[in-house]
Amino acid sequence: MSGRIDIGFPSAGTTLRGWLYESGETPSPGIVMAHGLSAVKEMYLDDYASAFAEAGFTTLAYDHFGFGASDGDPRQSPSPQVQQLGYRDAVTWLATHPSVDSSRIGIWGPASREVTSSRSVPMIYLWSPVWHRFPSSPKVVPSHPPR
C-alpha cells in the first residue's frame, strides 16, 4: 500500500479536495467517502480510508463544497444538492484513476439523501451513529445476520 496523496477534482464550478489512499493492487475496487453535512475528512476518515486501502480498496476521502480543504463559497454552509453533486463527481474522478476498476466503486458515508440518491454505483454503505437512540428511527435489519 502506498501513502496518502493530496488530490483535487472539479465539482459545482470549484475544486473539491481530498486524500487518495492507493491499495497497491491494480486494478482495485474503489471507495468514495465523505462526512455528513458539515464534518471534514480529518475527523477520522483518514483512519477508515487507510484501513480500506490496506484491505485492497483504493479509497478517496474528501471534503464537501465549502468545507475543510475544499474550495467553495459560502463557507460552512451545507447544501444537500451540492453535496450530492460532490459524491457524483468524486465517483466520476475515482473511476478515471488508473489504479481503480471503474466497475467496482462504492460509497461509504452517512445515511443521507445525498448518498442514497447516488444510483450510479454498485455498492453504498451507510452509517448513522445516532439512529439507535430514537424510538421513532427506522430500523435497519441486515439481510444476512452477522456470524
The pLDDT, as a whole number, for residue 106 is 87
State how far Cα 16 lies from the chain centre.
12
pLDDT in tens, 17-44: 999 999 988 999 999 999 877 789 999 8
- Residue 59, beta-bridge partner list: 21, 31
pLDDT band of 133, cuts 50, 70, 90: very low
Mean pLDDT of 100-107: 91
Which grid coordinates belong to 49? 480510508
pLDDT in tens, 59-97: 999 999 999 999 999 999 888 889 889 988 999 999 999
d(CA 18, CA 109): 15
pLDDT above 50 for 7: yes
Domains of the chain from N-terminus onward: 4-133 (3.40.50.1820)
pLDDT band of 120, cuts 50, 70, 90: low
Higher pLDDT, 139 or 23: 23
pLDDT above 50 for 109: yes
Phi, psi dihedral angles at 85 (to 5 degrees): -60, -40
The pLDDT, as a whole number, for residue 107 is 87
Q: pTM (2 decimals)?
A: 0.79
The pLDDT, as a whole number, for residue 119 is 53
CB 49 within 8 A of CB 106: no
